[in-house]
Structure 1
Amino acid sequence: MNLLKKLAIIAIAGFGLIAAPAMADKTIRLAHLNPDSPFESHSGAMAAIFKNLVETGTNGSIRVQVYPNGQLGKDSEVIQQVRDGIIESVISSAGGMATHYSLVGVFDMPFAFPDIGVATKVMDKNSTFGRKFSADLEAKTGLKVLGLLDSGGFFAISNSKKPIRTVEDMKGLRIRTMTLPTHEATIASLGGQPTPLPWAEVYTALQTGVADGQMNPIPIIAFAKFDEVQKYLSITNHVITPYIWTMNGEFYDSLSAEEKRVVDTAAEVAVAAGRGISRIIEASTEKGLPKLGKKMEINAIEPAELEKFASLAQPAVRKVIEEQLGEEGIAMLDVMMANIEAVK
């Protein structure tokens, strides 16, 4: 066992001694990357609702302990903790999951989803695509998928140098990406310099100039306070990535039929609320675009120009998917694209 795992076990055991009530028969330790407040992030809302519904639904026999703000480590590390049974559950980003299940990269086909309505229908564990995706992930990782939803909406690109109105404006900009080859290919195909960094390092990188900009959904840009270190925000809507909520498969299998029903129902309700809070934050005068507009210069890219972005980015990303994910990656991508066409 490496040092990281030992430290994680010691830390979590310490928290458990302080927090776990004597009457709880089982504990679900749930980690996520974002603020704990249900009004600041969708994963905060999901965790709060899940905790309430599980604890009340089991009459306190299952306790849910929430670890927000990446307290237990980097995203990919925490997923490993779940796989190892050190903790029970995590709501994770595509970037974190990619090191454990590479086919998450199919979501990164640029401009694949025409609007948030279509994305909501397809990016769901019960959609035609979602069922295939979840079953494959579970078979290859041993994790149980509790939920699949967008990470907060379509991505926009912010930077500290200039507004992005055309493909030419991307040239030379160092844009932070998740550690996803598909995201890196998107930025590189448009003339930018992809700068993959862990989430915990992004604010400082933008502040110090290690990266000129970044790409994320509006709610994430808002709660991360990137408006403090970025001047320009361009609405590109070029990609929408998932958050994937998983649980240790052995722990889930150890639950009774009634406990599974409570957990599954709580997760389903929590995901629905998470989607809703993301849409609310996007539109909110306090946390969405209106808030960001107080400090940032915001522009929407014209549809004709976005077609140029798509014509460059889509072939580059499909090539990466084919090269890195092989035939099964292309097959999974084709299922997703077919589902998109079916629900348009």
Structure 2
Amino acid sequence: MKATKLLTTASIGALLFGMSAAAQSANWRYAHEEFEGDVQDVFAVAFKEYIEENSDNTVQIYRFGELGESDDIMEQTQAGILQFVNQSPGFTGSLIPEAQIFFIPYLLPTDEESVIEFFNTSEAINEMFPELYAEQGLELLKMYPEGEMVVTLDEPFTSPDDLRGKNIRTMTNPLLSETYRAFGATPTPLPWGEVYGGLQTGIIQGQENPIFWIESGGLYEVSPHLVFTGHGWFTTAMMANQDFFDGLSEEEQQLVRDATEAAYEHIIDHISGLADESLEKIQEASDEVTVTRLDEDQIQAFRERAPQVEERFIEMTGERGQELLEQFKADLEAVTGEE
């Protein structure tokens, strides 16, 4: 941990030292929360390639740990040290409480096609969220799904009763803690850098993530029992420092928007089949892994606990959260045909 902190301090120092020159050369700095080759990184690379192929600007990508944890890169973006950041609502929720809506369990559908159509057409996503982010000095450029959430534990489970006494790692997100409390577990907020060690030492007994991240981060090595609960999708958001974006010419603003759309189209193709590929890699790498897919009756026992999380979301966010939730549900109904 000390080495990581030293690296982070040195990296930030280098950023500050080069800010003036970077501004002159239009070298834009973009940080995200994942490792090389993961979904956010694939998105960032596609964005970088479009910018550099269609302008004289360059994009420097910083991956997980190079500039600190998620909270660090958000602070650096708001301060103008970074021009772009990719961060999930799991961490943005403390800054923008309404972004926690993605952690109301069983709100989003489970099939990939419906999820993607929702993100493409949702008024809540594409019109309401940008206003909320703007209040925090952030230009929301794109929200996109990464994959269905999967829970890993030290033993298989099929009911809320099985989660009693289990410390489940959550992101530093109050509503996600409420979700696991409703599910019967003990939520334990931890930054990502402490998750593997926490599972290894038994400080926590489980966690949730999309399957590609469970594979990429090696979480199955220390938490081998994978359970598909169908309770949600991992969502993330790519945004810019608003002062930086507003200071761009109209042509460069359009360039950024076009690059974002190109990266989005690329990532939607990329995530298709990614979960199955990642699960196959996990099962090839470990004989200890078990996979449990809850049936409809088992899922219903968890789904019945979702309303209390929804109520807590409204308590946290007030009238604006209520309006957002209503629009969210209307957008989902338009996609799925289900009320």
Q: Name the counterpart of 1:107.
A: 102
Give 1:6 deviation, angstroms.
8.4
Residue 114 of structure 2 corresponds to residue 118 of structure 1: yes
Q: Deviations over 1:193-234 (max 9, x none)?
A: 111111121111111111101011111111111111112101
**Are the counterparts in 1 of residues 171 and 189 from structure 2 also a CA contact under 8 Å?**
yes
Residue 13 of structure 2 corresponds to residue 10 of structure 1: yes
1:334 maps to which of 323, 326, 329: 326
Q: Name the counterpart of 2:58.
A: 63
Give 1:248 deviation, angstroms.
0.7
Please list every run of 5 or more consecutive structure 2 residues that lacks an aligned counterpart in the other structure: 1-7
Residue 150 of structure 2 corresponds to residue 170 of structure 1: no
Give 1:43 deviation, angstroms.
0.9
Between the aligned partners of 1:279 and 1:204, the Cα distance in structure 2 is: 31
**Are the counterparts in 2 of residues 157 and 235 from structure 1 also a CA contact under 8 Å?**
yes
Q: 91-100 vs 271-280, which deviates more?
A: 271-280
SS state of the match for residue 73, structure 2? helix
Between the aligned partners of 1:279 and 1:325, the Cα distance in structure 2 is: 33
2:223 maps to which of 203, 207, 230: 230
The amino acid that maps onto 1:231 is P
Equivalences for 1:275-294 in 2 at 5 Å? 275-284=268-277, 288-294=278-284
Give 1:172 deviation, angstroms.
1.5
Please list every run of 5 or more consecutive structure 1 residues that lacks an aligned counterpart in the other structure: none
**Are the counterparts in 1 of residues 230 and 299 from structure 2 also a CA contact under 8 Å?**
no
**Are the counterparts in 1 of residues 210 and 234 from structure 2 also a CA contact under 8 Å?**
no
Between the aligned partners of 2:263 and 2:152, the Cα distance in structure 1 is: 30
* Residues 136, 213 of structure 1: alpha-carbon distance in 2 compared, 3 angstrom cutoff: same
Residue 130 of structure 2 corresponds to residue 135 of structure 1: yes
The amino acid that maps onto 2:26 is K
Between the aligned partners of 2:194 and 2:128, the Cα distance in structure 1 is: 30
SS state of the match for residue 49, structure 2? helix
The amino acid that maps onto 2:149 is F
Q: Name the counterpart of 1:25.
A: 25
Give 1:235 deviation, angstroms.
0.8
Number of residue pairs aligned between Structure 1 and Structure 2: 326
Between the aligned partners of 1:16 and 1:139, the Cα distance in structure 2 is: 23
Give 1:321 deviation, angstroms.
0.6
Give 1:130 deviation, angstroms.
1.3
Q: Deviations over 1:279-312 (max 9, x none)?
A: 332121xxx1112224210010011110111001
**Are the counterparts in 1 of residues 36 and 63 from structure 2 also a CA contact under 8 Å?**
yes
SS state of the match for residue 290, structure 1? helix
**Are the counterparts in 2 of residues 98 and 180 from structure 1 also a CA contact under 8 Å?**
yes
Between the aligned partners of 1:278 and 1:337, the Cα distance in structure 2 is: 24
**Are the counterparts in 1 of residues 19 and 81 from structure 2 also a CA contact under 8 Å?**
no
Q: Deviations over 1:48-79 (max 9, x none)?
A: 11111101111x2x110000123112212211
Q: Please give the TM-score of this superposition, normalised by the length of structure 2.
A: 0.90
Between the aligned partners of 1:273 and 1:83, the Cα distance in structure 2 is: 27
Give 1:335 deviation, angstroms.
0.8
Between the aligned partners of 1:14 and 1:56, the Cα distance in structure 2 is: 27
**Are the counterparts in 2 of residues 122 and 129 from structure 1 also a CA contact under 8 Å?**
no
> What RMSD over aligned residues (CA atoms) do the two structures have, in Å?
2.2
Q: Name the counterpart of 2:3.
A: none
Between the aligned partners of 1:27 and 1:263, the Cα distance in structure 2 is: 13
Between the aligned partners of 2:88 and 2:62, the Cα distance in structure 1 is: 15
SS state of the match for residue 123, structure 1? helix
SS state of the match for residue 64, structure 1? strand
Between the aligned partners of 2:11 and 2:139, the Cα distance in structure 1 is: 21
Equivalences for 1:260-299 in 2 at 5 Å? 260-284=253-277, 288-294=278-284, 295=286, 296-299=289-292
Residue 85 of structure 2 corresponds to residue 90 of structure 1: yes
Give 1:87 deviation, angstroms.
1.1
Give 1:25 deviation, angstroms.
2.9
The amino acid that maps onto 2:259 is A
Between the aligned partners of 1:45 and 1:202, the Cα distance in structure 2 is: 23
**Are the counterparts in 2 of residues 27 and 63 from structure 1 also a CA contact under 8 Å?**
yes
